[in-house]
Amino acid sequence: MINLEVPKKFTPAIDQAKAVAEHVLRPISRQYDRDEHTYAKELDMLAAAMAGMEESGSMKGTGATGVKREKSTGENRNASNMSTVLSIKEAAKGDLGLMLTIPGQGLGNSAIASVASDEQMERFKGKWAAMAITEPDAGSDSSAINTTAVRDGDHYILNGTKIFITAGERADLLVVWATLDKALGKTAIKSFVVEKGTPGLQFVRSEDKLGIRASDTAQFVLEDCRVPAENLLGDPEISAGGGFAGAMQTFDNTRPLVASMGIGVAEACLERTRELLAEAGVEVDWDKPAHSQSAAAQALLDMEADFEAARLLTLKAAWMADNAKPNSLEASYAKAKAGRMVVDVALRCVQLCGPVGYGETELLEKWARDAKILDIFEGTQQIQLLIIARRLLGLSSAQLR
């Protein structure tokens, strides 16, 4: 039986995330949205404080580094995945771009935490890792990756181009997806940890973007980049279970994280819209049928129902990961629903609030711009629906494309 009750042990982490969102991220949100390529130095102190709390155990499992699928104990439990989802939701209510820029909290850290060995976990501990999957000719279809990795003694030689890497310029490490043998298809795809400063790893540029402007989105080229063989994550052998399937397990943990960002941004929009509507004299009565209330109140009730559906799907996906249950389908449910929901909610909130919602006196217009990325990265809406269809129909990627 699923258990969605928030354990008391998570309260300090959730409260801390709320405080960070309100007192650290929101006050500087507009500044770094305007100064897109300027790093927020305020985040260094925040990262140091978070690292100290995680070391002490008072904030365990609150960042991307805390996400890891553990063996089932036979108990019904909420653990690091649930804690991380709940904390990220609160932090995303402050500023999504800044949250993605907190050192040590990259999606690459989730990849390492999900599949790395104990030795690798220790070796990369405390370093900030970005995820490098997307390529100019391989976006939503991760199995079409062209970056190659060729074994050469104790190293792999990587060649290829990676684009749209969140926090790529500022992170310490890149988790690069590459193929050991293109002819063998997706089973030959592996992930490698590439440290900044490695010869052959060349930074190209940071992109200008619609939203999450405080977070850098980078492009890199790998040209005869020699990576130690010990930096390969997972099984080095090419096999049906140890290749692409193993690398894709990362998404089972990171997609609920992205979904939690979506419910965080949507909740921020709904809370502020309720306040602005109340100031305008629009009252919402949750005990009355929607059709008996004003059009604005009806719209708000409709959005809240959509939000609640996304929230529950996200919590279920995290709970399943904490209880060692296969959650690929549920992770895609959560990501697809939350990604679509947050875009719809953010835009409708802007519309409901009229000129106030559209102007820069409020963060609503910024949240609307930020929301769109949550429907794109970690697998687009269309890809999530395709994954869901394959799972429900029992079809392979070759049978349903």
Structure confidence by residue, pLDDT tens digits, 185-209: 888 999 999 999 999 999 999 999 9
> Which of 3.40.50.410, 3.90.1150.10, 3.40.50.720, 1.10.540.10 would CATH assign to domain 8-123?
1.10.540.10
Q: Please tell me the predicted confidence (pLDDT) of residue 60.
A: 47
The answer to whether 98 touches 214, Cβ cutoff 8 Å, is yes
Give how far Cα 288 sits from Cα of 277, 299, 301, Å: 18, 14, 11
Average pLDDT rounded to a whole number, residues 118-141 = 91
The per-residue pLDDT for range 232-255, each reduced to its tens digit, is 998 888 876 555 655 677 788 889
Q: Please tell me the predicted confidence (pLDDT) of residue 218.
A: 97
Cα–Cα nearest to 276, from 393, 364, 186: 364
Q: How does 168-191 read in b/e, with b if 16+ C-beta sit within 10 Å?
A: bbbbbbbbbbbbbeeeeebbbbbb
Q: Please, which pLDDT band fits residue 63 given cuts at 50, 70 and 90?
A: very low
SS3 assignment, position 8 = helix
375: DSSP letter = G
pLDDT at 26 over 70: yes
Say which amino acid occupies 249. Q
| DSSP secondary structure string for all residues of 315-326 | HHHHHHHHTT--
pTM for the full predicted model: 0.92
SS3 assignment, position 160 = strand
Question: Could you confirm whether 70 is annotated as catalytic?
Answer: no
Least confidently predicted of 62-66, 177-181, 239-243, 273-277: 62-66
Q: State CA 309 to chain mean position distance.
A: 19
Q: Please tell me the predicted confidence (pLDDT) of residue 242.
A: 57
pLDDT at 69 over 70: no
Sorted by where each begins, the domain ranges of the chain are 8-123, 129-233, 244-393
Average pLDDT rounded to a whole number, residues 295-318 = 96
pLDDT at 302 over 90: yes
Query: Which CATH number does 244-393 carry?
Result: 1.20.140.10
The arrangement of secondary structure in 129-233, i.e. its CATH architecture, is Beta Barrel (2.40)
**Options 90, 169, 267, 378, the catalytic residue:** 378
